[in-house]
Chain A
Amino acid sequence: MTTTLPALRSEHRLTQADLAQRLGVSRQTINSIETGRFEPSLTLALRIARHFGRPVEIIFDLDED
């Protein structure tokens, strides 16, 4: 799965810790999502999308292969 979360977070001038606090998750979870090690649940993905006011498919997409 690919994600545009790092770019979106930078655009909003948020650190990983800031975003983690706003979403009620750990900073390591945000880091792992951004580096592709951890795929969030649908609930968390939708919460992230809602937080940034963007459709979830803009933030998360499946790999081409």
Chain B
Amino acid sequence: MYEFTMGGLWFRWSALDRTSKWLAGPSLAAAGLAPLPGAWITGLRLGRGESLAAPLDGWVGLWMVGWLVVSGLLWWAVSRRQDEMFNRIQNWTIGMASSWAMLALVIWALLARASVVVPVSPIGIILCFGVAFFVFWFIAVKRWA
């Protein structure tokens, strides 16, 4: 069973049962693989001083979504093996992060429509949700765990 460490930033690996380790390891690896091509290409563009506004190739998006789906499915299996406090923290975090990220994106889209900011990009959506997820995860862990 999980045991949070570092205020929820990580969990004690040895506390997980054997099956959870076998599921969590590949899930985290898949999540790590997902952004690699996009980050590499963005890094190259930054290095060459090119515009970041140009869209990335289709395969980059497919690679990212594919690995994120694999990661998500494996993590879902990990979550099913944990107890109700873990799942309450995770579900609350996903709900809050989705709601606030959606609100931020709606505001962003409205501002973009008024030509105040650049249009919303797929990377921006993922980043927005990611930041909200981490913020609410820490709040949830501090509140319940």
Seen from chain A, the residues whose Cβ lies within 8 Å of a Cβ on chain B are 20, 24-29, 32, 37-38, 40-41, 43-44
Once the chains are docked, how many angstroms separate the CA of A57 from the CA of B11?
33
Assess whether B4 is in contact with A28, with CB atoms less than 8 Å apart: yes
In the complex, what residues of B have CB within 8 A of residue A41's CB? 84
Residue of B nearest to A23 (CB): B83
- Binary CB contact string for chain B from 1 to 18 against chain A (1 if under 8 A, 0 otherwise): 111100000000001000
Assess whether A38 is in contact with B3, with CB atoms less than 8 Å apart: no
In the complex, what residues of B have CB within 8 A of residue A32's CB? 85, 144-145
Assess whether B144 is in contact with A37, with CB atoms less than 8 Å apart: yes
9 contacts between A and B (CB under 8 A): A24-B83, A25-B1, A25-B83, A26-B82, A28-B85, A29-B83, A32-B145, A37-B145, A38-B144
Is B133 engaged at the interface, CB distance under 8 Å to the other chain?
no
Query: Which residue among A24, A38, A44 has the maximum number of chain B CB atoms within 10 Å of its CB?
Result: A38
Give chain A nearest CB distance to B18 CB in angstroms: 15
Assess whether B84 is in contact with A29, with CB atoms less than 8 Å apart: yes
User: What are the 6 closest A-B residue pairs judged by CB atoms, nearest first?
Assistant: A25-B83, A26-B1, A29-B85, A38-B144, A28-B145, A29-B83
In the complex, what residues of B have CB within 8 A of residue A40's CB? 84
In the complex, what residues of B have CB within 8 A of residue A24's CB? 1, 83
Residue of A nearest to B82 (CB): A26
Residue of B nearest to A26 (CB): B1
In the complex, what residues of B have CB within 8 A of residue A29's CB? 83-86
Give chain A nearest CB distance to B114 CB in angstroms: 44
In the complex, what residues of A have CB within 8 A of residue B82's CB? 26
Is B143 engaged at the interface, CB distance under 8 Å to the other chain?
yes
Residues of B106-145 whose CB lies within 8 A of A: 143-145
